[in-house]
Structure 1
Amino acid sequence: MPKGVYLRRAGRFAWLAFAGALLATPVYAQKRTATPQKAVQQQPAALTIPSDPDDAFVALREAARKNDADRAAAISATLVDYPIPSYVEYFRIKSQMFDSSGQPLIDTPDAEISAFLQRYQGEAIADRMRNDWLLVLGKKRDWANFDVQYPQFVLKDDTQVECYALLSRALKGQNVAADARAMLVDPRYYGDGCVDLISYMAQSQQIQRGDVAFQARQALEQNYTTLAGKIAAALPDARVDGDSLATVVKMARNDPSQAAAYMGTISGNLSRDEQGAAWGVIGQFAAKKLMPEAAGYYRRQMDLGGNQWLSDESQEWRVRAALRQGDWKQVRQSIESMRPELRAKDPAWTYWYARALKADGRGSDAQQQFQSIAGQFNFYGQLASEELGNRITIPTRTTVSDAEAMAMRSRAGFTRAKKFYDLNLRFEGNREWNWELRGMNDRDLLAAAEYARKIELLDRTVNTSDRTKAEHDFTQRFPMPYRDIMQRATDDVGLDMAWAYGLIRQESRFIMNARSSAGAHGLMQVMPATAKYVARKIGMTDFSPSMMGDPNINIMLGTNYMSMVLTDLDSSWTLASAGYNAGPGRPKAWRTSLSRPVEGAIFAETIPFTETRNYVKNVLSNATYYAALMSGRPQSLKDRLGMVAPSAVTTTSLP
């Protein structure tokens, strides 16, 4: 630890107490020591190395993932001529930087790391190594090296590294509170670096008690109780706005009505801001449960103020609760009260704000808002365009030559990516592919997308073509592989082929061997139990799960299931898309809380599950473009969304 830097202002900010607390924390960087367990790992049986180089490389990657330094070293020694030497070296070194639980080690091979970064300067793997090293340097408090390396970190997509960067600045006497507040909005990504930053800012009085309590409460809202405790420890009495608000959060997660009743007994002990924050939390969890009382809880919050102590999620659900109730005034007020960066991040809030202005008779102001997003090729861009009187059409196609596409073959990043895809290592493949796309103009992006199509990487075709700004090729963005099979399958069950393709684009991005963590398989990501159910229903007596790798079988079973779900859910594409993702029983249950028919867009925006909410919007947006491509005629997303009516029926026979 560079002691002189760390203790420079010791008298003023009680450094010794803070440093002592950090050193006592079990997540502090540990010295690697020999253990009996380590000796067991070094036995010959544990170091069996696959004879095939590709298999050995995959085994090396797994050893690095587990931070098994001995096994990584042994395997890498056999891969001296492997075609991707940078990754062989990276996996070997990375396994020496962290222990088996993922915590940084003090005695990392800094000289080797530095040499690696120089050797592979400019490549994706160098940025990945620099990301890892910055985590180690931050945890070690080696700010001299950290401050040299951080400006060279290109992607800057690691929240914990950003926290260490702010901590380094703060230790030099800079006030970083505003930057920290703007960054610390999602506890999922905090890690130890962000806890250390919050603790230091509290110790040095750059932030106040309310800031710390808010950060701890955000963690509690997402059920990260251990993280919340670590953050709260920065407070003098290690409590989150007193135990009362912590109790409100925990209670609201299970029973918002009970939490609301509890507020009646403790509100006299809370400040006005604290009361507002509590009602915001209660409103959030009530809204997620689709309780009609949610909008009322949020109205109490807005009457009290304290908006600065609402998490982003609470602010978003405040809008959704008002949408469900049809309260356009509260929709407008909720969006106007949003954190500006949050409001600007998602076109949803621009669209719903415009709708609220329109409902208030402010048509000219609404049109300006619609126009600001109508050019975007996404769900809310499409809806905004329709509000301006347009139908959904396909932009003029820009084509590239075969020569332009095949010229991409010589790019080193794409060569490495293809090797990784051949090994089914999609994480590394995508990282190399996306790194190579940096700085490309539209025509280069279209050429890269076409190259991906030629080598049958349709997910890369879609994702690459999606990046263009002014020149477009929607045959790349919305490909239609296996069209003969799809045409036959959808005709057999009377299904809209545009919807089926829209669903596949969202489910698997046309990766035939795609598998989800839950076991869903293939193009249409059909779960094994669902596949068996559908096969039995259509009289397929010889079905076995291994058949799901066949596109004929995958598409046949997937489209049959889509048809079953659509029939079960009143032929609503909105409900059926939600049912395909979350199970048909859930959208049925979500309908029961409606007090009146609502637009499909409102139903989609207020789906409680984030994954399903985004899924429905993307599937129906995709389907609208597919329909325009197939028919050559303008389309309407609003018509496709339709209306969703209340229903008392919650049962279903479908899996």
Structure 2
Amino acid sequence: MLAKFQILILCCLLLTETEAMAVKSLPEMRADFLRAEKLIRTDQDAEYFKLADSLTDYALYPYLHYQWLKKNLDQNKAIEDFLLAHHETRYAGLLKNLWLRQLAKHKNWTELIKHYRSSSSAELQCNYYRAKYNTGQKKTALVAAKKLWVVGHSQPANCDPLFDVLMKSKYFTRDMVWRRFQAALGKGRVQLANYVKGLMGKKDRAAAELWLKVHREPQLVKKPDWHQGYRQAGLIFAHAVERIDRKNSIKAAEVWDQHKDKYTIPQYRVDQIERRLALGLAFRRDARAYSRLEKLNKSDQAVREWRVRAALTEQHWPHVAAALDKLDVKEKQQANWQYWRARSYDQDGKHQQALQLFNQLAGDRSFYGFLSAYKLNQEIRIGDRPISVSATEIAELASHKDFQMIEELRAIDRNQEAKRQWWYAVSRLKKNDILVAAKLAQHWQWDQVAIFTIAKAKYWDDVDLRFPVKYLDQVKVNARLHELDPAIVFGLIRRESAFNEKARSPVGARGLMQIMPRTGRQIARDLKEQWRSAQSLFNPEVNVKYGTYYYKKLLQQFNGHYALAAAAYNAGPHRVEGWLPDENAVAADIWIETIPFKETRAYVSAVLTYALIYQQRMQRNMLKIKDFMRDILPN
């Protein structure tokens, strides 16, 4: 009996030793993961499974097996097993959407209905309602199809079978055709509008042809009898005014005011046009904007805020005060409108009330807080309160499966996939854990992600995390070369890329200071350097050199005005020239507040604010807010 027990112990020890020998190190698992991916790409399934079986405990196993399954979407049982085992991962959702498309392709309607969950994807919705239609739930499918059809853009091709049965059913109406035609032209989709026109009867088609003609030549509506008595004349006229407004709000307002009473126009369209014209005039700093905004039947946030800006453009302070009164409760608490309330008090002689409000704002680490400190002749305060998070909390979050996966993706240089996984993981966290995640990203020296993560938690006081001092050598060297303060360069980098040297915008701007390749090529020519490629803009040394050169050039073009140069860096110098006053100088704070582009308005205030924060972070004392607040002179 003892011998058998000893043999059993020996076997257990040998088994444990074998298992220990079989445990792979992290570098080995990473290497095997990359080999397994190659096996998937080359369709070596048997070898893949043999290797994948040894990686089931590796953090990236769900990502690995997802890659195999998306190439083998006919493996229904394997997919269901994956969705069950890894339902909490991002890859479960991605795989399910691919699988649902596969089920639709093979007309497996029952399985599709079983596994479908509500989706914003038109493609998946069309597949789902096709499944409903083909399993006998025809009314439900066709009623849903109506909403999918009446849109101003083309839907995915897989919607066509559903739309075919809809257009042959009693649910398809003349009104739907006109609604889609109007929606298509409203979005400038002329090709789609022409297709919809083909579904109309003879009389409607003639009216639609006129509408298309006016879309191309909106000035036609100024001619007498252009509308030929069509009942859609009012809607066509309203569309023409919108088209004119794209190029000239002043001309559009004149045409609208002169002719609108000649037509029957639905009230909702009257309200839309009146709102568009009033805002268009405000964007162009036209003197009639405030009056038109005041007369609108409805006020949304844009209308309320631009009413204040239109009054500021006029520098009519009683109008400013009245417009501020009409903001809603939440809007009134925002720093910018608090600042303008203090300014209006000051202009109205209510100096004590202005002083009190400026004092409240001066402690705020924002553009308007810094402006308030300037009004009080005080130094700015940046108020640093780092997040209180322990090393244990950071380690616990890092050990979570989602974050282990991110760490491994970064380790194998899959940074884009790591970011997607990061935002998926963060979206599932509570606020306090988001703060921990921000500190984890900072610990990983993932600056851009740390900055955006802490913003998601709406925590603004960890200055070290939100305003890292990176690429210091490149910034100092190039700032000195172009006679710029390093703080303004840091302000630009922080706003442009948040210190992501690999940043790339949707329009193709690259690197730390987001240089467009065409601009980079021109800068290289100016500097008498060889232009290598757009890829060179991801090199911090090249990017910062070109970015500082370009900003200095803009600064010289706009007579050393930091705010104008920042606006030009974002929106282009030609636009900024068009925003300069025609006659009298304008206070810089008013000019910045009334920049018509929301993005540029936010950009300028952010760059100047960040520059002042970096000034303190670097313990410099050269730039002051007064340097940014010189009056804007006429063009």
TM beyond 0.5: yes
Residue number in structure 2 paired with 1:284: 279
Tell me how far apart the structure 2 counterparts of residues 362 and 161 of structure 1 sit (CA, whole Å). 60
Residue number in structure 1 paired with 2:468: 479
* Closer/same/farther in 2, CA of residues 587 and 456 from structure 1, 3 Å limit: same
Residue number in structure 2 paired with 1:629: 617
Are 2:255 and 1:266 equivalent residues in the alignment?
no
Residue number in structure 2 paired with 1:255: 248
Q: Is the 8 A contact 1:276 1:302 kept in 2?
A: no
Match of 2:478 among 477, 486, 489: 489
* Closer/same/farther in 2, CA of residues 463 and 371 from structure 1, 3 Å limit: farther
Q: Is the 8 A contact 2:154 2:192 kept in 1?
A: no
Are 2:517 and 1:558 equivalent residues in the alignment?
no
Matched letter for residue 250 of structure 2? S
Residue number in structure 1 paired with 2:341: 354
Residue number in structure 2 paired with 1:586: 575
* Closer/same/farther in 2, CA of residues 590 and 109 from structure 1, 3 Å limit: farther
Q: Is the 8 A contact 1:277 1:307 kept in 2?
A: no
Match of 2:592 among 589, 604, 627: 604
Match of 2:532 among 539, 544, 558: 544
If you compute each CA radius of gyration, which structure gives the higher value, 1 or 2?
Answer: 2
Matched letter for residue 508 of structure 1? S
Residue number in structure 1 paired with 2:501: 512
Match of 2:62 among 86, 90, 112: 86
Match of 2:418 among 419, 429, 443: 429
Are 2:266 and 1:300 equivalent residues in the alignment?
no
Q: 1:430 offset after TM fit, Å?
A: 2.2
Residue number in structure 1 paired with 2:85: 119
Residue number in structure 1 paired with 2:238: 245
Alignment of 1:210-249 (within 5 A): 223=188, 242-249=235-242
Q: Secondary structure at the match of 1:307?
A: coil
* Closer/same/farther in 2, CA of residues 470 and 535 from structure 1, 3 Å limit: closer
Q: Is the 8 A contact 2:233 2:263 kept in 1?
A: no
Gaps in structure 1 of 5+ consecutive residues: 1-50, 61-71, 98-107, 173-179, 181-185, 201-208, 649-655
Q: Is the 8 A contact 1:323 1:331 kept in 2?
A: yes
Q: Is the 8 A contact 2:487 2:611 kept in 1?
A: yes
Tell me how far apart the structure 2 counterparts of residues 373 and 133 of structure 1 sit (CA, whole Å). 54
Q: 1:347 offset after TM fit, Å?
A: 4.2
Q: How many residues align?
A: 540
* Closer/same/farther in 2, CA of residues 377 and 132 from structure 1, 3 Å limit: farther
Q: 1:647 offset after TM fit, Å?
A: 3.1
* Closer/same/farther in 2, CA of residues 425 and 248 from structure 1, 3 Å limit: farther
Tell me how far apart the structure 1 counterparts of residues 617 and 154 of structure 2 sit (CA, whole Å). 40
Q: Secondary structure at the match of 2:510?
A: coil
Q: Is the 8 A contact 2:555 2:565 kept in 1?
A: yes
* Closer/same/farther in 2, CA of residues 162 and 462 from structure 1, 3 Å limit: farther
Q: 1:316 offset after TM fit, Å?
A: 5.4
Tell me how far apart the structure 2 counterparts of residues 550 and 357 of structure 1 sit (CA, whole Å). 48
* Closer/same/farther in 2, CA of residues 624 and 192 from structure 1, 3 Å limit: farther
Residue number in structure 1 paired with 2:13: none
Residue number in structure 2 paired with 1:416: 405
* Closer/same/farther in 2, CA of residues 541 and 302 from structure 1, 3 Å limit: closer
Q: Is the 8 A contact 1:597 1:643 kept in 2?
A: no
1:592-620 superposed Cα distances (whole Å, 9 cap, x missing partner): x4543334343334334444333223222
Matched letter for residue 89 of structure 2? E
Q: Which piece of structure 1 moves more, 259-268 or 128-137? A: 128-137
Q: Is the 8 A contact 1:320 1:606 kept in 2?
A: yes
Matched letter for residue 242 of structure 2? V
* Closer/same/farther in 2, CA of residues 160 and 267 from structure 1, 3 Å limit: farther
Tell me how far apart the structure 1 counterparts of residues 445 and 245 of structure 2 sit (CA, whole Å). 49
1:559-595 superposed Cα distances (whole Å, 9 cap, x missing partner): 232222212212111111122223333322321x454
Tell me how far apart the structure 2 counterparts of residues 556 and 508 of structure 1 sit (CA, whole Å). 15
Residue number in structure 1 paired with 2:520: 531
Q: Secondary structure at the match of 1:620?
A: helix
Matched letter for residue 278 of structure 1? I
In the superposition, the TM-score normalised over structure 2's length comes to 0.64
1:216-263 superposed Cα distances (whole Å, 9 cap, x missing partner): 989867656789999999x99896962221121112112323322321
Q: Is the 8 A contact 2:181 2:196 kept in 1?
A: yes
* Closer/same/farther in 2, CA of residues 584 and 633 from structure 1, 3 Å limit: same
Identity %: 25
* Closer/same/farther in 2, CA of residues 129 and 328 from structure 1, 3 Å limit: farther
Matched letter for residue 613 of structure 2? Y
* Closer/same/farther in 2, CA of residues 609 and 302 from structure 1, 3 Å limit: closer
Q: Secondary structure at the match of 1:631?
A: coil
Residue number in structure 2 paired with 1:396: 385
* Closer/same/farther in 2, CA of residues 241 and 361 from structure 1, 3 Å limit: farther
Residue number in structure 2 paired with 1:521: 510
Q: Secondary structure at the match of 1:254?
A: coil
Residue number in structure 1 paired with 2:7: none
Tell me how far apart the structure 1 counterparts of residues 588 and 459 of structure 2 sit (CA, whole Å). 30
Q: 1:408 offset after TM fit, Å?
A: 4.5
Q: 1:489 offset after TM fit, Å?
A: 2.3
Matched letter for residue 448 of structure 2? D
* Closer/same/farther in 2, CA of residues 620 and 543 from structure 1, 3 Å limit: same
Q: Which piece of structure 1 moves more, 434-443 or 241-250? A: 434-443
1:313-351 superposed Cα distances (whole Å, 9 cap, x missing partner): 66655554443333455556666667x69x759947744
* Closer/same/farther in 2, CA of residues 434 and 276 from structure 1, 3 Å limit: closer
Q: 1:451 offset after TM fit, Å?
A: 3.6
* Closer/same/farther in 2, CA of residues 364 and 187 from structure 1, 3 Å limit: farther
Q: Which has the higher contact order (CA 8 A, sep 6+)?
A: 1
Q: Secondary structure at the match of 1:598?
A: coil
Q: 1:478 offset after TM fit, Å?
A: 0.6
1:185-221 superposed Cα distances (whole Å, 9 cap, x missing partner): x99999999xx9xxx9xxxxxxxx9xx98x9989867
Q: 1:403 offset after TM fit, Å?
A: 6.1
Alignment of 1:83-232 (within 5 A): 84-88=60-64, 90=66, 115-127=81-93, 223=188
Q: Secondary structure at the match of 1:279?
A: helix
Q: 1:476 offset after TM fit, Å?
A: 1.3
Residue number in structure 1 paired with 2:634: 647
Matched letter for residue 598 of structure 1? V
Q: Is the 8 A contact 1:376 1:382 kept in 2?
A: yes
Gaps in structure 2 of 5+ consecutive residues: 1-30, 133-138, 141-146, 167-174, 209-231
Q: Is the 8 A contact 1:187 1:218 kept in 2?
A: yes
* Closer/same/farther in 2, CA of residues 433 and 256 from structure 1, 3 Å limit: same
Q: Is the 8 A contact 1:507 1:523 kept in 2?
A: yes
1:59-95 superposed Cα distances (whole Å, 9 cap, x missing partner): 99xxxxxxxxxxx995999865386343455567678
Tell me how far apart the structure 1 counterparts of residues 237 and 381 of structure 2 sit (CA, whole Å). 51
Q: Is the 8 A contact 1:134 1:149 kept in 2?
A: yes
Q: Is the 8 A contact 1:124 1:431 kept in 2?
A: no
Q: 1:504 offset after TM fit, Å?
A: 0.8
Matched letter for residue 612 of structure 1? T
